[in-house]
Amino acid sequence: MDLNTLWFVLIGILFVGFFFLEGFDYGVGILLPFLGKNDSERRVIVNTIGPIWDGNEVWMITAGGAMFAAFPHWYATLFSGFYLALVLMLLALIVRGVSFEFRSKMEATGWRSLWDWCIFFGSAIPALLWGVAMANLVRGVPIDATMNYTGGFFNLLNPYALLAGLASLSVFALHGANFLTLKVGGGLEDRAREAARMLWYPAALFLFLFALGTYWMTDVHQRLGLDPGVVPVTAVVALLATRWTISHRRDGWSFTLTAVSVVFSTVTLFIALFPRVMVSSLDPAWSLTIYNASSSAYTLKAMSIVAALLVPVVLVYQAWTYWVFRKRITADSHLEY
């Protein structure tokens, strides 16, 4: 494995970790106004992710930084071509972060309800747009011979990408519901389990349609043949199996299976891309690859050394954070948000 391939794999791993962790994080925010019937219950729900949401977003920031350093042409084309969509996502994330800090500053019901709905929109919009963005990478966008994006914002809102956005939105909401069954108490876990049971239907439908769309609406069929492979099949089967675990109150398994579905779906997209990083819909020869979009060999080598030293430290720290905040949260717990 050369360094170009290694860094493509590492960026893929960062996105896998981000979607796995931030997926249930977004899901909790999406469910907040609907599961919480009063302020006490909403505070319980918010506190399940209060200590960890910002740490989860570090995976996205790290992935963006790694992309900038390892594949600067990828970074430049992506962030210029997807500019409006990324700004919209960034504004939603800013509103979401502010909402976590501001909702507890006043006791007024209207004040807290306002910020709860801001958390909802600040979670739902990125959950939708991440699916749209990832799908466009695989499907292809208008990129010319000089690596410049020549399309507009509405080029990104094609049927395949919107289907991917609905799939990511619904799967993340299901992932969040399964997470809440493990983290809340006082009867809220039963409500979260019922929400998971209802959310399974749109999640399974959209993920299945997205899997078919990826196979027939992109060049995956031509590149990989008729056999879709074990990775995408595992993603779909894991989500289908979640229906049984939810019905039988196997909450740990439900969360694990939605996590497997999220992880394997993300891996599928990176497999479909490789060795490209952005597909040109104008001419396949103009696609950005891990070679024509990369930094110098010296830069990749230096980055590899730094990553080998620091990534294990970050992983250990985040694992320790989740261990510290592993207990269930009820209305009797000390609530910060």
Q: For the chain, how many structural domains are there in total?
A: 1
Residue 276 domain flag: yes
- Give the pair of three-digit tokens for residue 300: 């990749």
Give me the pLDDT at residue 78, please.
94
Give me the pLDDT at residue 83, please.
92
Give me the pLDDT at residue 298, please.
93
Residue 333 domain flag: no
Residue 337 domain flag: no
The CA distance from 301 to 307, in Å, is 10
Cβ count within 10 A of residue 167: 27
Give me the pLDDT at residue 155, please.
87
Give me the pLDDT at residue 227, please.
64
Residue 336 domain flag: no
pLDDT for 125-175, tens place per residue? 999 999 999 999 999 999 999 999 998 888 899 999 999 999 999 999 999
Residue 248 domain flag: yes
pLDDT for 169-211, tens place per residue? 999 999 999 999 999 988 899 999 999 999 999 999 999 999 8
Stretches in the chain below the pLDDT threshold 70: 224-228, 333-337
Residue 11 domain flag: yes
Residues contacting residue 140 through CB under 8 Å, at least 6 positions apart: 218, 219, 279, 280, 281, 287
Give me the pLDDT at residue 249, please.
93
Residue 329 domain flag: no
- The range of the structural domain enclosing residue 72 comes to 3-324
Contact between 179 and 256 under an 8 Å Cβ cutoff? The reply is: no
CATH of residue 185's domain is: 1.20.1630.10
Closest CA to 70 of 5, 163, 137, 166: 5
Residue 45 domain flag: yes
